[in-house]
Structure 1
Amino acid sequence: MTVNQMIRCLAPAGMARPVGMVVPRVPDTIFFARFNPSPTKRETNMNKTDRDARFRQIRDKVESGQRLSMDDGIFLYDPEVPLQDVGQLANLVRERKNGNVAFYNINTHLNPTNVCVYRCRFCAFRSDLRDPKGYAMSDEQILQRGREATENGCTEMHIVGGLHHQKPYEWYRDLIALLKDNFPKIHLKAWTAVEINWFEFQTKKSKQWVLDDMRSAGLGSMPGGGAEIFHPEVRDQLCEHKANTHEWLQIHQAAHELGIRTNCTMLYGHVEQAYHRIDHLMRLRELQDITGGFQVFIPLAFHPDNTKLDNLKKPSALMDLRTVAISRLMLDNVQHIKAYWIMLGIPTAQTALAYGADDIDGTVRHELIYHDAGATTPQCLSVDDIRGLIIEAGREPVERDTVYHRVHRSETDFRDWHSGQPVDDAVAVS
């Protein structure tokens, strides 16, 4: 049986396997497969008539619910294919899955340290131990962030940071426990696969042990960072020493099998090409076929300022919208696509709600990583701001929690909230 046949047997296209269900291990080739882009490279020389015919084939696939191929995805990145046409197709899928709503949450970020053993070329956040910029937060600083989150009605704390070589695994685990013990209602979305991989190294334990131990401390779900671009032609240029593609995907598979939901991401707009992006999306799609544990995909636009790639320009709004749209079309088995306003900018994020995105993230207090890389967006938006920009984009704002349940708040005290039914049950349309 081939890998693709095994995938189809495990979970048919578009059907998510319940999180927590133990599934057979697939061959490692799924994590290392390189897709051949040459056929679609030749297609870029098409004349307009042939290009229009090729797009109609893709449109027919989308309208009938068929899965797009590697070549389809690369073709849609051709700048000669009208962006508006790609966006309309993506919006068809977006509304089929999520109706007219756009989700947001009330959240805050916590980056406990920026000291990091790795020197990724795209990162402006990291610091050396002796650099004046370097820091590691105290317990009291962490508790203060939790108190502030509670006072502002936050439902989620997003926790990622550097890999501090003088901080033991217990420091990272204990800060999760500290927050959960003192603020049990706040969902802790913590640690990328890169950090989990580092904790494996520190503890000499398995990824399953680390994930289960973190969950017992209070971890609720995982963010999707550290994916960058999976293809080794690019990954080896950006971050050759940290968790590789195989490790990133296996850590997320292990999390899903333990019942821990995760996000997934792609960092685009630097040294990669279109076929690297589609390769990346297809690897995510294949793992989602097996586990069903990815709840949202976030395309992350590269910001070059203060990085080792500061000679590059950040991607244009047109590239941002095309990437959001193609992500929606390729990831047919991921329910949600997020337009992260911090990186895209507010106008582009609003527009992306008509190009396949159904989520705009949240209030986002204390974001450091992308602002260090030159993001000029505000450090925080109010709930009224978030709801207003969604309404202005012609969508219905719906507050969600981290795992996509509707949030209900008291009319008399904004800080008094509870989670209700899953949003997908309420808004999906046939």
Structure 2
Amino acid sequence: MNVREIERLFEQNLHDLGKIADSINDCVMFVINRHINYTDICISRCPLCAFNNRERYLLTIDEVVKKAREAYSEGATEFHIVGGHNPELSVEYFEEMFRRIKKEMPDAVIKALTATEVYYYAKKNKMSVKEFLNRLKDAGLEAMPGGGAEILVDEVRRRISPNKCSSEEWLRVMETAHKLGIRSNATMLFGHVESIRHRAIHLYKLRKLQERTGGFISFIPLVYHPENTPLNDIVKEKTDAVDILKTIAVSRIVLDNFKSIRAYWVMLGERLTEVAVRYGANDIDGTIMGEKITHAAGAKTPEGLTVDRLIEIGKSAGKRVGQRDTFCNIIRWYT
């Protein structure tokens, strides 16, 4: 499938796309997880972001471990740990953090640091991405989230995230991680200044990298929330439900070599998430305790959902609902 063919999918009728996308899935999944944002200090100051430098905080390792411990006691199997590009931090900060979490909670998965964070901290610590990731893998890193991808077209990145790594650098970080045995997710932030062609290029690049490495697990189409961001002068409100559902459906069709396409309920809201599971999404992420980044940009969704509510959302599609681990292995089915 080439870029033009992907563009043509966006031109098709929404409901026709939904039928095709929905036929690819046979279940809906979720994970019990906790988001831990170790810092909001970030020198990149991206126009798209409402999170950076709001409080100017940096969690101690004790504080991070405490948050992980509390979530673990509530059944969390995954810790999603991301922050900013903080010039105060060294590789040792993350090594100690990961070692302490794994020592205390060895069966929980550490999914941490976006590709842009890895690129920044490796460069700051004067080491290659491979060396940086190897050190973190030895300390307990098992997976990476998909953030920082935004749109993998540099003319767009120069407008929305000019101080982050380039498209090719993001892709190279992920390819390096995959070759080291570190699995990852991938995202696409859409509904701002990008075009449909830009989205098509983004999906094409992800599909081609997955064909080479097989290292991606999930794809998360992220709806841009402009409130409280510098980009709000250009993008006044988030995109509409039709565009969101069409993007999810196209993503499922194009990225059929990914295990899951997520309806990220924090950005969609619960009602649209229920619809999205009929339009190609087979993953509603998780309990997401402690999410801050999207809420800083104006999301009005709860600060976490219960397992019962996630099951209810999943069952609304008439499919089997399963609790998964980070790698989309089903831990338990709910019938």
TM-score with structure 2 setting the length: 0.96
Residue 150 (structure 1) shift: 1.6
Matches within 5 A, 1:100-249: 101-127=27-53, 133-249=55-171
Matched, 1:90 2:12: no
Residue in 2 aligned with 1:56? none
Q: Work out the CA distance in 2 between the residues paired with 1:143 and 1:253.
A: 29
Aligned counterparts, 1:6-405, within 5 A: 68-78=1-11, 81-92=12-23, 94-95=24-25, 99=26, 101-127=27-53, 133-311=55-233, 312=235, 313-405=237-329
Amino-acid identity (%): 40
**Any idea what the Cα deviations from partners look like across 1:157-208, whole Å, max 9, x if unmatched?**
0000012112222212221222122221211000111111012112211111
* CA distances 1:352-386 after superposition (whole Å, capped 9, x unpaired): 11111110000000000000001111101111111
User: What letter corresponds to residue 6 of structure 2 in structure 1?
Assistant: G
After TM superposition, the runs of 4+ consecutive aligned structure 1 residues lying more than 3 A away are: none
* Alpha-carbon offset, residue 75 of structure 1: 2.0
CA contact (8 A) 1:338 1:359 kept: yes
Q: Distance in 2 between the 1:238 and 1:162 partners?
A: 16
Q: What secondary structure is seen at the aligned counterpart in 2 of 1:310?
A: helix
Q: Judge conservation of contact 2:61–2:93 (CA < 8 Å) in 1.
A: no
Deviation track 1:70-92 (CA, whole Å, cap 9, x = no partner) reads: 222212323xx321111112122
1:143 CA drift (Å): 2.2
Q: Is the 8 A contact 1:106 1:363 kept in 2?
A: yes
Name the CA distance, whole Å, in 2 between partners of 1:389 and 1:137.
33
Aligned partner letter, 1:373: A
CA distance in 1, matches of 2:323, 2:231: 37
Distance in 2 between the 1:251 and 1:265 partners? 14
Hey, what does 1:41 align to over in structure 2?
Answer: none
For structure 2, the 5+ residue unaligned runs are none
- Measure the CA separation in 2 of the matches of 1:134 and 1:366: 17
Query: Contact 1:256–1:262 at 8 Å: present in 2 too?
Result: yes
One-letter amino acid of the counterpart of residue 73, structure 1: I
* Structure 1 residue identity aligned to 2:308: D
1:335 to partner: Cα distance: 2.3
CA distance in 1, matches of 2:61, 2:162: 33
Is 167-176 or 350-359 further displaced after alignment? 167-176
Paired AA for residue 7 in structure 2: I
In 2: Cα distance, 1:319 partner to 1:209 partner: 41
Structure 1 residues 297-339: Cα deviation after superposition (integer angstroms, max 9, x where no partner): 1100000011011131101111110000011111132221111
Which letter maps to 2:205?
R
Q: Distance in 1 between matches of 2:96 and 2:294?
A: 26
Per-residue deviation, 1:408? 4.6
Question: What is the alpha-carbon distance in structure 2 between the residues aligned to residue 227 and residue 179 of structure 1?
Answer: 27
Q: Secondary structure at the match of 1:309?
A: helix
- Secondary structure in 1 matching 2:257: coil
Q: Matches of 2:104 and 2:57 in 1, distance apart?
A: 23
**8 Å Cα contact 1:169/1:202 also seen in 2:** no
Aligned residues: 331
Give 1:250 deviation, angstroms: 0.6
Residues 192 and 225 of structure 1 are in contact (CA less than 8 Å); yes or no, is this contact kept in structure 2? yes
Deviations 1:118-163 (A, max 9, x none): 1111111100xxx6x1111123321220221121010000000012
Instruction: Choose 1 or 2 for highest CA Rg.
Output: 1
- SS of 1:254's partner is helix
- AA aligned opposite 1:219: L
Deviation at 1:69? Answer: 3.0
